[in-house]
Amino acid sequence: MPATAKASIFHRVTGVALFFALTFVIWAWSESLSSAEGFEFVKGLFNGFIAKFIAWGTVSVLGYHLIGGIRHMIMDMGHWEELESGNLSAKIAMALGVVFAVLAGVWIWF
């Protein structure tokens, strides 16, 4: 499968993942804004591994989806539509997604 297809499929998968991740985000916002106790509960929850992993996954998915979306917008403007430049832009987008995920992990866990 060419890099352009992988990048496009991954962009769609991250969109679906964002949809489901938003349930956790909206719940955390709602709970933290409900009361001081709710805020402390969510704050304490985010010290755990599972919550940090979900937060890292959400931020990583958001980062790649944003990068892929910018790539698609540039392609909609008529750039990177040739085979060689399309493959290169797809590989760069995926590499930037990995870099973003690593940086997000460092930011969340350290």
Whole-number Å distance between alpha carbons of 92 and 75: 14
CA distances from 42 to 19, 20, 24, 49, 57 (A): 21, 19, 11, 13, 17
Beta-carbon contacts of residue 42 (< 8 Å; ≥ 6 apart)? 28, 31, 32
Whole-number Å distance between alpha carbons of 7 and 86: 10
Query: Is residue 65 marked as binding?
Result: yes
Task: Write out the binding residues.
Answer: 65
Binding residues for heme: 65
